[in-house]
Structure 1
Amino acid sequence: MQRDSWQIIRDRLAGDIASGKLAPGARLPTEPELCAAFGAGRHSVRRAVSALAVEGKLRVEQGRGTFVEAAPLITYQIGRRTRFRQNLLEQGIAPTGEHLSAEIIPAPARVAQALGLAEETLVHRILRRSFADGVPINLGMAFHEAALFPDLGARRATGTSVTEIYRDHGITDYFRKRTTIFTRRPEPDEARLLSQHVDHPVMVLTKTDVTADGRAIGYSEAVWAGDRVQFSIDTLDDPDPSPSSQG
């Protein structure tokens, strides 16, 4: 069966990416340049680029161009003590974060249930974006009781880790009680903030932090770029009783 023009372009570009001719992070030629190079119309070029973006091979950035995906594939360990910075640093990957918003709101039903609070109890809602070697990998929305951690919103805005804030409030160690994972299509704003195609799936993780005596102190929902991370679930208890210094 004869392939359509867009399929030929897709396969040629995919081959150039696989061979290293188009290196990670490289910017693709402009659309007119690709049309001229392949002797094809704009529709075929756009369809080929879109298909590779959905596959996670290309990243389209509004106003900047189209780039070969350069994100590292992260193996993210999930256990009783899971710390974002520690996970990445142990793989030689530089973790950074960006504060997006902080507000105090009445607890939604799901948050109140996770934290063991009465509905409408005031909680912090913190939205942050995390990066691995400068590439966005997740959007995290975290909830904490405002009365328990009154300074949390302001301190998270300055980059203070959750672990450090917990420690300053007398919580020297904490654990991940439960993690749930599911996939879905991203919302347009999520895809934009993660620099990925809107048709490429994301993985959503929800978790609850608890103290050693089982008290729930934090609940979060994180949207991860689906092609930039793989999760490894540690089913054994952490043998190290010392608290981690990473948040």
Structure 2
Amino acid sequence: MRENKFLQIYAEYSGQIQSGELVPGSKLPSESELAEAYSTSRETVRKALNLLFREGYINKIKGRGSFVLDIARMEFPVTGLISFREMSELLAVPARTLVEETVLAPAGAYAATQLQLAEDAQVWRVIRAREIAEERIILDKDYFRADLVPFLSKSIAEGSIYDYLEQELGLKISYAKKQITVEPVTEEDRRLLDLNQDTHIVVVRTYVYLEDTVLFQYTESRHRLDKFQFVEFARRVRR
């Protein structure tokens, strides 16, 4: 019965969120209140809330409670290799790029590890906040090998770097590998993004390769978790 109870709590609250009965930002009852309302244990309630959290219906803020997320979020492709400008055009919403930094410098330990370079190898470091519908909700931190991308500027970074790389430099961008995690927000996140009371952020690390399999770009893209859902189409392969 306990298993059925946690699924009941999940089904009822996910249904209310989907129907709009519970609007984004609404606070759910506390674990104690839910346990009493459903005549069950706090452990069972916690299991239901964790499932709602994992499925993207709520955000849990330590010391404050559970809050309803906006499930009408922007879909971001997991495996697609798409620029921000291309994505914003697909979403058909007002968007702009705010360039924080465009610097040519030695890679240093972190970027060198990600790009498999020597620490003194030159790289371009580009930091940009992405604003959609007047909210800064993505922070992109890009590193490009300077031997393959000899020049970048703020104006190029404000537009589409990929257009410049492909059309001006003639680079043939082919494929990428991605890692997706949920991590605590940093001071840089809070400074450059509109995070409200968020304590965590979705981090997408992307390793981009040219047609000749050379790794030339590493990107750390930090997304406000209430504004995006990461989607993928999967087909079962029978063996």
Normalising by the residue count of structure 1, what TM-score does the alignment of the two structures yield? Answer: 0.61
Structure number with greater CO (CA < 8 Å, separation at least 6) is 1
TM-superposed CA distance for 1:128, in Å, is 0.3
Letter in 2 for 1:125: R
Contact 2:104 2:125 in 1 (8 A): yes
Contact 1:188 1:198 in 2 (8 A): no
SS in 1 for 2:92: coil
> Where in structure 1 are there 5+ consecutive unaligned residues?
1-17, 25-49, 58-68, 237-247
Whole-angstrom distance in 2 between the partners of 1:79 and 1:23: 28
Matching of residue 98 in structure 1 with residue 98 in structure 2: yes
Contact 1:81 1:174 in 2 (8 A): no
Contact 1:103 1:125 in 2 (8 A): yes
Letter in 2 for 1:99: V
Residues 234/187 of structure 1: CA separation in 2 closer, same or farther (3 Å cut): same
The CA RMSD over aligned residues, in Å, is 3.1
Matching of residue 195 in structure 1 with residue 207 in structure 2: no
Matching of residue 55 in structure 1 with residue 67 in structure 2: yes
Residues 155/129 of structure 1: CA separation in 2 closer, same or farther (3 Å cut): same
Q: Identity of counterpart residues, as a percentage?
A: 19
TM-superposed CA distance for 1:221, in Å, is 0.5
2:152 maps to which residue?
152
SS in 2 for 1:227: coil
Letter in 2 for 1:119: E
1:207 maps to which residue?
206
What whole-Å deviation, never above 9, does each CA across 1:100-143 have from its counterpart, x for those lacking one?
A: 11222221334223323222201111110002222211111100
Whole-angstrom distance in 2 between the partners of 1:210 and 1:116: 12
What whole-Å deviation, never above 9, does each CA across 1:63-118 have from its counterpart, x for those lacking one?
A: xxxxxx8x961100132432322223223223321111122222133422332322
TM-superposed CA distance for 1:146, in Å, is 2.2
SS in 2 for 1:148: coil
How many residues align? The count is: 179
Whole-angstrom distance in 2 between the partners of 1:113 and 1:180: 15
SS in 2 for 1:100: strand
Q: Which runs of at least 4 in structure 1 moved beyond 6 Å after TM superposition?
A: none
1:232 maps to which residue?
231
Whole-angstrom distance in 1 between the partners of 2:115 and 2:108: 11
> Where in structure 2 are there 5+ consecutive unaligned residues?
1-19, 26-62
Contact 1:74 1:88 in 2 (8 A): no
What whole-Å deviation, never above 9, does each CA across 1:28-87 have from its counterpart, x for those lacking one?
A: xxxxxxxxxxxxxxxxxxxxxx948x8377xxxxxxxxxxx8x96110013243232222
Contact 1:191 1:198 in 2 (8 A): no
Whole-angstrom distance in 2 between the partners of 1:75 and 1:152: 29
Letter in 2 for 1:115: L
Normalising by the residue count of structure 2, what TM-score does the alignment of the two structures yield? Answer: 0.63
2:161 maps to which residue?
162
Contact 1:102 1:125 in 2 (8 A): yes
